[in-house]
Amino acid sequence: MRLEYFEMIDAVRHLDRAGGRIEALARVPEASPVFEGHFPGHPLVPGVLLTETMAQASGYLILAHLDFARMPFLTGVDKARFRSFVGPGAELVVSASLEHDGSGYAVTRAAIRHADKALCDAELRFRTMPFPDGLDTPMRARARAIGLLDAAGAAA
């Protein structure tokens, strides 16, 4: 995870494109300016960044499911629960499943586990739109860097 750059997902571990499910890894950095404020002397990953992590795993799942035809943008966070604390160095397992592939929107259920315990979960909603100019290439590059394209190819 590079928290300051909003690069939350490090690697895709498993992708079931047809079944609509993804599992990815995210390692919390040992140090980050985020921890200077949240909280001084007691570093914890903010819930909003855990939500973003679930949203990014969901987003990559949707991108793969739609074969990069459209870009998902987060529009809703429902039933979010943060069940435990997590700090620097933690290895997170992020999973998401496609609950509904609507016309112009998608809904996922996502969760993060740490040390085999539930850390957080939420239902997330996305609007899916044609890629804005210039976004397709960097999204594909990032997807390639985390192994999404390899996983998508293997699952195809």
Interacting residue with other proteins among 33, 40, 104, 132 (CB under 8 A) = 104
Which of these is catalytic: 38, 65, 100, 114? 38
Question: Which residue's CB is nearer to other proteins, number 7 or number 101?
Answer: 101
Q: Is 40 in the site for other proteins (CB under 8 A)?
A: no
Q: Please give the structure tokens belonging to residue 7.
A: 């690069």
46-54, 56-64, 95-103, 143-151 -> range binding other proteins (CB under 8 A): 95-103
Question: Which residue's CB is nearer to other proteins, number 129 or number 145?
Answer: 129
C-alpha distances in angstroms, 44 versus 3, 6, 30, 122? 12, 16, 11, 19
Output the CA torsion 77→106→56→156 (10° steps).
Answer: 160
Q: If residue 150 lies in a helix (H) or strand (E), which one and from where to where?
A: helix 148-155
Q: Is 67 in the site for other proteins (CB under 8 A)?
A: no
38 is a catalytic site residue: yes
Question: Which residue's CB is nearer to other proteins, number 16 or number 101?
Answer: 101
- CA 118 to chain centroid, in Å, comes to 16
- The catalytic site residues sit at 38
